Structure 1
Amino acid sequence: MEDKEKAEILKIERSIGYILRIGVIVSATIILIGMILLFFQPSTAQAPNSLPLIFQGLMQLDGQAFIMLGLFCLILTPVLRVVVSIFAFAKEKDYLYVAITIIVLVILIIGMSLGLVEK
């Protein structure tokens, strides 16, 4: 029984590692695309600083919008890791860590929300 639990924990840890790796690779790729677009189409406009402006810029193939989307993805990668950790701890029936991780997620969400208000 203990070997099965260790194998399951190892599987969860690998999944979390894959999430972090994929998030960084996707973010870097999006940022690289934005840098290439900026190289061929330099922009003097202000970088988009909200999701609607970013998506509008993506439709116009604005390099700054791609870079901002890549940074947004990079910021969301550890948040996704926290969400996956909640499910991992719940699966392990480690409810103390589920509660602690939920508190961390709430703090992250509050921090991001306050950051949006401060612009």
Structure 2
Amino acid sequence: MYFRDRDIQKIIGKLLRLGVVSASIISLIGGIIYLSVHGMDSIPDYHKFHGQPETLTQIAGIIEKTFSLNARGIMQLGVVVLIMTPILRVFCSLFSFAIEKDRMYVVITFAVLSIILFSMFTGMKI
């Protein structure tokens, strides 16, 4: 199977659109659920910072909360999908350059992908 450069660019464009639209829809669903449950709550005290619960800082916890229809978990999943979209774009670019046998860009793109993944996994609680 032979891909032309234009075909791969179309695939990458569709991937980016799909990722952003999916992240938006997921976050919107989470926001609607959150407002339906907490919309009439009193205004929180913004003088003291309250971070996310520990379960919402880990991928496994986000997925668990999403399947239990927890609004914050669903919104966090939307953020994860949004973050993963450009990473998948870099991965697709790596694949594209490998098909074209453009070694210099394969090395550069692989270095960029490695830096991104290293930064994510050394700073994230898994």
TM range (shorter): 0.7 to 0.9
TM-score scaled by length of structure 2:
0.81
| Range with bigger deviation, 30-39 or 50-59 | 50-59
Alignment of 1:1-119 (within 5 A): 8-42=4-38, 46-47=52-53, 48-116=56-124
Q: Which runs of 5+ in 2 are unaligned?
A: 45-49
Q: Percent identity?
A: 36
Aligned CA RMSD, in angstroms, stands at: 2.3
Could you list the structure 1 runs, at least 4 aligned residues long, displaced by more than 6 angstroms after superposition. none
CA-CA distance at 1:56 after TM superposition? 2.0
5+ residue gaps, structure 1, are none
Compute the displacement of 1:78 (Å): 0.5
Q: Distance in 2 between matches of 1:88 and 1:51?
A: 28
Output the CA distance in 1 between the equivalents of 2:24 and 2:105: 31
Q: 1:11 Cα deviation (Å)?
A: 1.0
